[in-house]
Structures are given as structure tokens and as C-alpha cells.
Amino acid sequence: MFVDYALIEVSSGNGGDGAVTFRREKYVPKGGPSGGDGGNGGNVIIIANTNLHTLLDFRYKKKYIADNGDSGGNSLKDGKSGSDVIIRVPVGTIVKDSETEELLFDLDVDGKEVILVKGGKGGKGNSKFATPTNQTPRFAEDGKPGEHKKVILELKLIADVGLVGFPNSGKSTLISKISAAKPKIADYPFTTLKPNLGIVKYKDFQSFTVADIPGIIEGASEGKGLGHQFLRHIERTGIILFLIDITSENYQNDFNILMNELKIYSSKLIQKKMFVSLSKADLVDPERLKEVSRFKFKGIKEKPLIFSSVSGYGLDKMMDILWNSLEKEKNSD
């Protein structure tokens, strides 16, 4: 099951108290303070892991609590620090404050590690407070309390190309044809209930990733349909490829609706490199194919990419264009 949203509670450990003790050895006539320091509380640490692909685990475990530090002991013995709690999440996970929704961390690189909540510091024992004028301090420092937070985890897929289109525009069929991904395919709306990520092998030893974003409908950015749940995944993509059904009665209107939903969700999305494609070319005759190949989408410089996932028509050409565009984007960085 693909899960890309979770609300969890994290608590770091309290610091241990410092000890108030004095030396009592038989052959030490003037015993001094010997209280050890308290141990630090454990941290809650979150790490990005490229082997994980969903936030499913956080549906079943929502609280993560680190250990408290032990109190200090006699004979200058410091308390043991509390054990840290390690939380592993997929690469592309962001962490937000649950109340303000402020972005706290972006775990966009494999192995990236941050402390969600820091453990409380252990208190100093009375041995640390001895001075020439106060050689027998009878007090120690209390340990500091740990931190507690409720945070939101959101997963945003990291892909080179994001497929955007209405339900049944052919996204799932395309990704199943050009990659090893096997999404569910049927002839009814919202077949895709989760984003699918596929790796496209290009020519001999090259590859790029494609994300099939569940169907977007008009009003998706306002919560209609399923698209609003998955628009966040488009933010990570390098290129946006729109899929318009070649049998549609109004190509430009379909494109305008999709474009508007992206713009409402985030103005940054429309600044990405974009291509528009007409899918299901096998459903029209050659004369109609010639006619639509001359269609020009307003707001898009390039001609539409026409293809059929069933017959394979236009797929190689489209892969070449996408690859060359990705290479151009990398070289310009």
C-alpha cells in the first residue's frame, strides 16, 4: 500500500539529575563532593533511506519516545545517556510542524539525517560546584526536560518526468509500456489510486524515472476527485508531460484545465519544463493523425508529441525528446 502522509508524535528523553554525594573512603580524612553528572536524554533522529518507498509504517506506529538519561552516581560516576530513537523514511519526505505547517526539514538525499527533537541535557553533580569558598556543595543540577512535538510527514516522489492528465488519458498504460512498473489499468475513472514510479531504460546504459500521477480533474486543487492528494508529487519532477486523449473534442480546453489546476496549487509548477502529448494515436486514422500533428497548444513552444502505447507509435521519438531535455537541464545547472 502506498501511503504518502502521516501524523506522528515524537518525544526526546529527559536529562538525568546530577547527584549529591560525598567521598567516604576509610583513608581519606577529608572527603569532598563526589556526585556525578546525569546522562543526556536520547534524541529522536530521522534519516532518509532510498530503500523505502512509502510511509505505511507510520499508520501503525504513531509515537516515538527516546529513553531518559540516568541520574549521576557517587564516586564521580556519570549517569548513562538515554538511547536515541531512529526513524527511517523514504527519500523525498518532508517534515512539517503539525500546528503551523511550517517546513522543518526536507529529506531529499539518501542518508540525510536530522534531529527531530533533542534530548534534555543531564544535570551537573555537586562535584562540579565545588569552589575554594564552598568545598562541600550540598546541591546538584536537575536534568533538563526533553522536547515533544507533533509533526507531519509528507512524501513527495522524486522523478525526472511527471505524467499529468485526466483519468483514462493513458498515463498508466504509458508507464507500463516504457518501464517495468505494473500499474492497475482499466477503462473507468481513477483506476490509479496511488502514484506509480517507473525506471525507463534509455538506449544502452542510461535511464530516467517517470512518475504516473493519479488523474487530475477540474477542481482538484480545491479537493475534488483524487488529484489534490497527489499534486505534491509533481513538485519534485524535472519535466511535466501532459497527456491529452487524442479523441478529445477540445485539446486546448483540456490542457487549460490541467494547467490551471497546477497553477492554483503552486505557481512554481508552471515554471518547469513542459511538454504536451496526444495519447492513443492508434484510435484515429492516418488522415486525422496528420491533421492533429499540426495542432499548436497555446503556451507551449514545442509541437505536441503524438504516441500510442498500444502500437508503440511515436514512443521512441518521445523518449529521445525527454532524454535530451533532461540532459540539457542537467548541463545548465
pLDDT, one tens digit per residue, over 121-144 is 999 999 999 998 898 899 999 999
In the structure, what pLDDT confidence band is assigned to residue 315 with cuts at 50, 70 and 90?
Answer: very high
The overall average pLDDT reported for the chain is 87
And the C-alpha cell for 280?
492513443
What pLDDT score was predicted for residue 230? Answer: 63
Inter-CA distances, 124 with 33, 140, 142, 317, Å:
12, 6, 7, 70
And the C-alpha cell for 251?
485539446
Angle at 307 (CA atoms; ends 306, 312), nearest 5 degrees: 155
The percentage of residues in the chain with a pLDDT greater than 90, rounded to a whole number, is 53
Domain boundaries, the chain: 5-155, 161-332
Phi-psi group of 310: left, alpha or beta (phi > 0 → left; psi -120 to 50 → alpha; rest → beta): alpha
Class of domain 161-332: alpha beta
What pLDDT score was predicted for residue 194? Answer: 63
CB 4 within 8 A of CB 233: yes
CB 108 within 8 A of CB 85: no
Q: What are phi and psi of 98, to 5 degrees?
A: -70, -25
Positive or negative, the CA dihedral 98, 103, 104, 110 is: positive
The percentage of residues in the chain with a pLDDT greater than 70, rounded to a whole number, is 87
The number of beta carbons lying within 10 Å of the beta carbon of residue 25 is: 9
Bridge partners (DSSP) listed for residue 131: 134
In the structure, what pLDDT confidence band is assigned to residue 237 with cuts at 50, 70 and 90?
Answer: confident
Task: Read off the pLDDT of each residue in 61-67 and give the average, rounded to a whole number.
Answer: 97
CB 183 within 8 A of CB 212: yes
Class of domain 5-155: mainly beta
